[in-house]
Each structure stands twice: as C-alpha cells, then as structure tokens.
Homo-oligomer: A and B are copies of this chain.
Amino acid sequence: MKEELLRELVIRNDHKIIYLILDGLGGHPKPGGDRTELETARTPNFDRLATEGICGLLDPISPGITPGSGPGHLALFGYDPQEYIIGRGVLSALGVEFHLTEKDVAARLNFCTIDGNGVVVDRRAGRIPTEWNQKLCQKIRRQVDLGPEVEVFLETESEHRAVLILRGEDLGGNINDTDPQVVGEKPLAPRGEDPASERTAAFVRQFLDQVRDILKDESPANFILARGFAKYDPLPTLEERYGLKAVAIAQYPMYRGLARLVGMDVPPKPETYDDMWRQLQEHYPDYDFFFIHFKKTDSTGEDGDFEKKVRVIEEIDRWAGRLTELNPAVIVVTGDHSTPSVLKSHSWHPVPALLWSPYTRPDAVTAFGERDCAGGYMGRMETRHLIILALANALRLKKFGA
C-alpha cells in the first residue's frame, strides 16, 4: 500500500509484534539431496507456530533479485528497497555502529600501497591485520586537520577496510570513487557532481593530501582509496510510519546500525542468546515492536556448512519456544534473504516466512520449511508487505475508505 495512504490507517494500541529474523534463512538442498537446511532441521516450536499461523514465501526485492543485508532489512521494515537506497559508505558506517547525523557524508576506505610515482601497487595493502589498521587510523586522526568547517571521523572496519565520515554544513555525497579498481594506475581525484558535493570533494582532496604525508613512511599501507561516498539522509522512523516504538536485539553492528536507521532503540550488544532473551524480557513492557536478529544462519550458509546451519536453526528454534509465553499479538519468523550453503552466498531464492497471531486464518501448513511455505495462505509476496500484515494482525490498522 502507498505510504501516504497507509499512514492514515495507523492506530496505536498495546499489541506487541515480535520479528524473529534468521539472517539468510532460506536454503537449498545439497547436490543430490531433497531437503533444505530448514527442512532438515528439527524445529518443533517453529512448526507449532506454522501450524497455528500462516506461511508463505517472500521476495525481498522482486523475483530473481539477490539482496544485500541493507535492502533485505529495509524490506522487512516495510521500506521499498528500490526507493530507499542506502549508499555503501553509509552502510559501512552503520556496520561499525557509527552514529550518523544528517550533516554526515560517509565513504568506505581501503588502506593501499602506492609506489614512488603514486601508482597503486596493492589495492588492499596486503590485507594488513585489523590491529595495524587501528593504529594507522589513530595516527591519521591525531594529525589530520581540515579546519573549523568540517569534522573528520575515521573508523576501523577490519583488515585493510575503514570508514571515513565528514561532518559539516551543506555537504554532498555525489563524489566519484578514488579507487582505480586496478593496480598500475594512480588513484583518481575525487570530484563532486553538484556544488555541495564539490565542496565536500575539496575537503576529501585536502584529507587525502594530508594522509599521503602522514603515511609516507609506512609500509605496506602508505595510502588510502575511497569509494561509495554517500550522504546520510535519515529515513522516516517506524514510529512515524507505523506508530511503532521499536527496539532491536541484535549482536552484529551492521544490523544494530540498520535498526537505528529506522529509528529503533538499540540496547547494548547482547553477548549470548541468553542475553538476548533477557533483553527481550527487560524491554518487553516498553516497546511495541521487537526486531530480534540472529546472524549465524547466514554466516554458516556463507561458510557452505549445511549441517552447521541446520544446528543453528535448531538452536534458534529452542530459543523461540518461550516467545508465546510473552503473550505477543504477532510473531513473525523469517529471514532478510536466502543464503543456501550450497551457494555459499546470498541468493535470489524466496525466503520462507511464518506469521502467528490469534487472527491468522489457519492454512494447511504444519511444518516450517520452504516447500510447505509455498502452499500457505501468505502466498508469495514481496517482503515489504509483511509488516503491514503484522500491523493488521495486531489490529493496528483502520479500514481503508468507507
């Protein structure tokens, strides 16, 4: 439904919605096999929710499109990922849990190696260890100075990767990558496509000149390459769009950052799944919407470890067994995309989903798996509709039209 029409339908009440997101949940059988990871896993709790609720298959973007984590989560939160494009620099800043403001332009950095003529000889500076990266960032932070108009933040990501944030008035993010993408060429000079971006690009050029000098005696990381410049434009919050006071319970920085992007509160990082349960209990009275993110289904898929992904799913199923005791109005279990271990990467396969509530008309599905979900009431739909279905089942939407 169109955003402006939807907003007029929103009601506030005290019915709570729990989103259990198993990152990369969707899978694929092993070669010659017949069952996906989820179909293989013993999941009595999900099966019960699937039996009592409705199931379906979700396309995070549209059929055939493999999403990154950013667009995958935006879709889960109901934001059309083809409308709300998050720049790579902003995503990286979210990934190190940097608190962006609307004065910020962010870019991804690589430490690199240049030769005496300024030609790039290694775009990743031999993948220096993260600790080294941290030391170099500290050295740059101490010495760099772009004057009073702009603040510089430099954050280590991992290995050779870091994030640059410039904060100031009237900055712009339409700036080309300086990374030439191949060795044997000099880095490109950053240029802005519009006045605000060119003003920002001038600061970036100044920054790069200083960094070249600061790192000149370092080896192998004696310079940096920048790409994915992006201005941070705050998104409408879940509160503004749906009247939902939302909290994120997530261990990984990227997802904590994505939650902040849509206005969720994000309590301190939970170290264990037990911590996650305690956070949920602690914050349960104070919020309407609970985004609970489990990462390991994705990382085991990316590792190509079918059996381990199965075990992770079973572990989360056990974790989820107590959810109905909290008496929520709606429980959703799904993923932001598929990560079949046979592909060792995100994929385009639609994602199994279940939605449990007292108001779901029970369908024929009695087990939570891809094949079963294909026959459920939710049908196959774009992920962005899911939160609207959740709001409806929480009786948080008025009738449209008279």
- Chain A 55-76 against B: per-residue CB contact (8 Å), 1 yes, 0 no? 0010001111111111110000
Q: Is the CB of A91 within 8 A of B402?
A: yes
* Option from B5, B350, B361, B386 in Cβ contact (under 8 Å) with A377: B350
- Could you tell me the distance between the alpha carbons of A314 and B402 in the complex, rounded to whole angstroms? 28
A371 within 8 A of B: yes
Q: Please indicate the chain B residues that have their CB under 8 angstroms from the CB of A381 in the complex.
A: 63, 380
- Could you tell me the distance between the alpha carbons of A88 and B363 in the complex, rounded to whole angstroms? 36
Q: Is the CB of B5 within 8 A of A399?
A: no
- Give the size category of A's interface with B: 35 or more
Q: Is the CB of A361 within 8 A of B67?
A: no
- Could you tell me the distance between the alpha carbons of A347 and B392 in the complex, rounded to whole angstroms? 8
Quote the shortest CB–CB distance from A223 to chain B (angstroms).
23
Q: Is the CB of A400 within 8 A of B359?
A: no
Quote the shortest CB–CB distance from A333 to chain B (angstroms).
17
Q: Please indicate the chain B residues that have their CB under 8 angstroms from the CB of A85 in the complex.
A: 401
- Could you tell me the distance between the alpha carbons of A381 and B91 in the complex, rounded to whole angstroms? 31
- Could you tell me the distance between the alpha carbons of A258 and B401 in the complex, rounded to whole angstroms? 13
* Option from B57, B68, B388, B392 in Cβ contact (under 8 Å) with A399: B68
A364 within 8 A of B: yes
* Option from B29, B64, B390 in Cβ contact (under 8 Å) with A397: B64
Known: A63-B385, A388-B62, A401-B85. A364 touches B359 (CB 8 A): no
A266 within 8 A of B: no
Q: Is the CB of A371 within 8 A of B364?
A: yes
Interface set of A (CB-CB < 8 Å, partner B): 1-2, 5-6, 9, 27-29, 34, 36, 57, 61-72, 81-82, 85-86, 88, 91-92, 340, 343, 345-350, 359, 361-364, 370-371, 374-381, 385-386, 388-393, 397-402
